[in-house]
Amino acid sequence: MKKKLRNGLLIFLFLLLIPQMVWAGDMQVHFLDVGQGLSILVQSEGENLLYDGGGRDASSYVVSYLQNQGVQQLDYMIASHYDADHISGLVGCLSSFPVENLIGPDYVHDSQLYTSFMGKAKQMGLKMQHPSVGDVYPVGSGTFTVLSPQNASDQDSNNSSVVIRLDNGEDSFLFTGDAEHDSEEQMVSAGLDLECTVLQVGHHGSASSTSWDLLQAAVPEYAVVSCGSGNSYGHPDADTMEKLQSMGIQVLRTDKQGTVTAYSGGNGITWDVSPCDDYTPGNPDDTGTMAGDAGVAAYTYTQGATENSQSTDADTQDLGDGNSDQETEAEQQVWISATGSKYHSRPDCGNMNPSKAVEMPVDQAVAQGYEACKKCW
């Protein structure tokens, strides 16, 4: 009798708890070690999503990794953008797995690789889908929402990256591809929900991505940097790593730890390895260029640059890592407007009021959180 009563009580308590529990299935998110490039595999309830496939050297690794994970079909293949270090490996996957939905930004890339990628897709009977901001797709026990690009352009491949937030219960992941400050600014100013548990650090940790604005909107618990060990770009940049460290964001890195996998049950994330929390830059001589926003300089310089299919992310040379920035800009005076968040090289940039502009050394402006103006800097 007593036992029956106790069992009844337990069942009653359990039923009482049900509405409070978050019901989400399991999801695994693998950040593949593709060297200098990006590739992320998401698996949940028998469904698979592949976001980028790394560069040419990683192609066979990606295919065999997917096979080892039991992947038999890809419900989604997303090309963040059409640079070689993101789509070379996708070509091999198109040959190896049936693909249900192929998604990529709406621009035509002037490269042989792009042509062969699109040719392969066509051969497999696939039509490239160009998503709009706000589109939501189901995947396994979760969903993903498209956050960028508003407008894609072959002139600005990185900022045309398809950015998505993947949600599983209360856990969320932000995949940004190579999105840089322009794209980040657009998402932030559009008021999109960028909050996430895990941030894939944009453009391999380059200084041209991961602005304070983005970080403050995303407030991730973890950040994953995908880049090649000893890569020639110096990814990740000292500035980016300093920002992550100063916000107390735990870091995982494919260049230091190889492939890393997150497990989400919908209510907190665990990893197959502990975060390495290694905030050292890719280039050991990079002492940080918080003075002078190197990323914007690099971005402006390469805006008109073209690239060929042979390059691995030649789209943005990380010029900001050079010491010249530091030497020339450290003593420089800049102008701050009364209300803006940027520093300027002259007191009358744009529609700022020169009589209210304040002059100060660039170091001081940066220390106060100002960023370089893209128009005049």
Q: Site residues (CB under 5 A) for Zn ion? A: 83, 85, 158, 178, 313, 315
Q: Is 264 helix (H, G, I), strand (E, B) or coil?
A: strand
Q: How many helices (H) and strands (E) does the chain have?
A: 11, 19
Q: How far apart are CA 120 and CA 107, in angstroms?
A: 17
- Closer CB to Zn ion, residue 237 or residue 313? 313
* Closest distance of CB 81 from Zn ion, Å: 6
- Closer CB to Zn ion, residue 43 or residue 158? 158
Q: How far apart are CA 38 and CA 172, in angstroms?
A: 19
* Closest distance of CB 16 from Zn ion, Å: 50
- Closer CB to Zn ion, residue 143 or residue 150? 150
Q: How far apart are CA 374 and CA 171, in angstroms?
A: 35
- Closer CB to Zn ion, residue 52 or residue 286? 52
| Chain CA centroid to CA 374, Å | 21
* Closest distance of CB 158 from Zn ion, Å: 4
- Closer CB to Zn ion, residue 86 or residue 165? 86
Q: How far apart are CA 234 and CA 246, in angstroms?
A: 20
- Closer CB to Zn ion, residue 89 or residue 142? 89
* Closest distance of CB 156 from Zn ion, Å: 10
Q: Is 125 helix (H, G, I), strand (E, B) or coil?
A: coil
* Closest distance of CB 85 from Zn ion, Å: 4
Residue that is written with structure tokens 């049900």 in the block: 18
Q: What is the DSSP letter of 246?
A: H
* Closest distance of CB 207 from Zn ion, Å: 14
Give the H or E element holding residue 61: helix 59-68
